[in-house]
Structure 1
Amino acid sequence: MLMNIETVVTLFLIFGFNATAGTDCLNNWTAHGNSCYLFGHQSLPFYTAEHYCRQHNGHLVHINGKEENVFIREHLRYMKGIRWWIGLTDDDVEGTWMWYDTNEEAMYTDWTPGQPTNSGNNEDCVEFDMTAGYDGHWNDAPCDMHLLPICERSSGNIDIVG
């Protein structure tokens, strides 16, 4: 029995044969774009949180732009934690916000209105704050506060067929 191309295509659609791009994110990591994200479950000080991420072959998240920031904010809306470390600090030079993983100055920021304030001359690290009034924007905070880490690692693309 000969099958025409229309029949073959229909069968593939019915039985779910497809080819899509995927990522090589590990279990418990969330894929987005070319990165994998790990949302930690233990509150840690900033530098300990960075160490935790490095133990998982990543670093505290480096947010490159609005699209990535919105992805993280929307993901955090469904998480139990409300205050999360990102990898941004002005610990070296006050008011110059640098990404810890690359030592590059931040070109994109999403500060809560009125922030950063460096309250008490002691706020040198940055949190993604989901509490009321901050509404998922960034806030400077003391680096020794215990917050949840958001880790990031790059992801290689793989093809998934099936």
Structure 2
Amino acid sequence: MSYNLKIYFMVCFCATALASERNQVRTDYNACQYNLYQVLSSEECLNYSLPSFNPTPKTVKYFAGTTKTSFLRAYVLCRELGMELLNIDSAAEEAAVEKYLNTVHKQPGPWNGFWLSGTRWGADGVDFVWLNTGQPLVYRKFAAHQPDNAGGKEPCVEILYQNDGSYAWNDIKCDAQLRFICKGFK
């Protein structure tokens, strides 16, 4: 088999795998949209109203993907849904996200987190920004002793269910396989 033919098969295999993952995410999203109108109250299924001090009040919708994937792939999947990988800008929004996660997911332990769009930025790698806005993380809820940048290789951020029943943020390697939360506006 020629080298070009091998590359062709590898590209086709990767494209098929990505398409399959994208289709599963769309199926999950469509099911949630169905649940939004048929089964669950809007508060339980991915909705949060921004505080009234907003000049133009908007409703935020959330989508929690069940597929475990890398940070970059989660970012792309959210964009394909017309949404952004989640950034949390206030304690009120954190509480709304945690309330939603409590209805769908309570599994303490490693690799059970959800991607946030936070990532290290700058020459020193100390500052965090939201990837989708480029704005610094003004509101933060990192766990005790976090972020620690273990091994100098943890530039991404997850929200993680803790053993005490709370949620906290953790810095983590971007190639870890986690679920993700997308955020969009209605």
> What is the aligned partner in structure 2 of residue 30 from structure 1?
46
What is the aligned counterpart of 1:42 among 25, 43, 67?
67
Any idea what SS the aligned residue of 2:73 has? helix
CA gap of 1:45–1:89, structure 2 versus 1, over 3 A, is: same
- Provide the C-alpha distance between the structure 2 equivalents of 1:77 and 1:67, rounded to a whole number of angstroms: 15
Q: Which runs of 5+ in 2 are unaligned?
A: 1-31, 35-44, 50-58
- Would you say 1:111 and 2:142 are equivalent positions? yes
Deviation at 1:135, TM superposition (A): 3.0
Once residues 111 and 77 of structure 1 are traced to their aligned partners in structure 2, the CA distance between those partners, rounded to angstroms, is 18
CA distance in 1, matches of 2:63, 2:122: 26
The share of aligned pairs that are identical, in percent, is: 24
Deviates more, 1:146-155 or 1:134-143: 134-143
Matched, 1:83 2:135: no
Match 1:64 to one of 64, 83, 89: 89
Q: Give CA-to-partner distance per residue, 1:38-63, whole Å, 9 cap, x none.
A: 00010010010000100100111111
Superposed CA RMSD in Å reads 1.8
Question: Is the partner of 1:140 in helix, strand or coil?
Answer: strand
TM-score of the aligned structures, taking structure 1 as reference length? 0.74
Name the structure where helix makes up a greater proportion of residues. 2
d(CA) in 2 for partners of 1:134, 1:102: 30
Q: Runs of 4 or more off by more than 6 Å in structure 1?
A: none
For 1:74, give the aligned amino acid: K
TM-score normalized with structure 2 length:
0.65
Between Structure 1 and Structure 2, how many residues are aligned? 130
Instruction: Please tell me whether the aligned partners of residues 127 and 141 of structure 1 are also in contact (alpha carbons under 8 angstroms).
Output: yes
Contact kept? 1:130, 1:137, Cα under 8 Å: yes
**Could you tell me how far apart the structure 2 residues matched to 1:147 and 1:87 are?**
13
Higher RCO, 1 vs 2 (CA within 8 Å, ≥6 residues apart): 1
* Structure 2 match to 1:10: none
Q: 1:51 aligns with which of 50, 61, 76?
A: 76
For the pair shown, the structure with the greater C-alpha radius of gyration is 1
Distance in 1 between residues matched to 2:81 and 2:162, nearest whole Å: 27
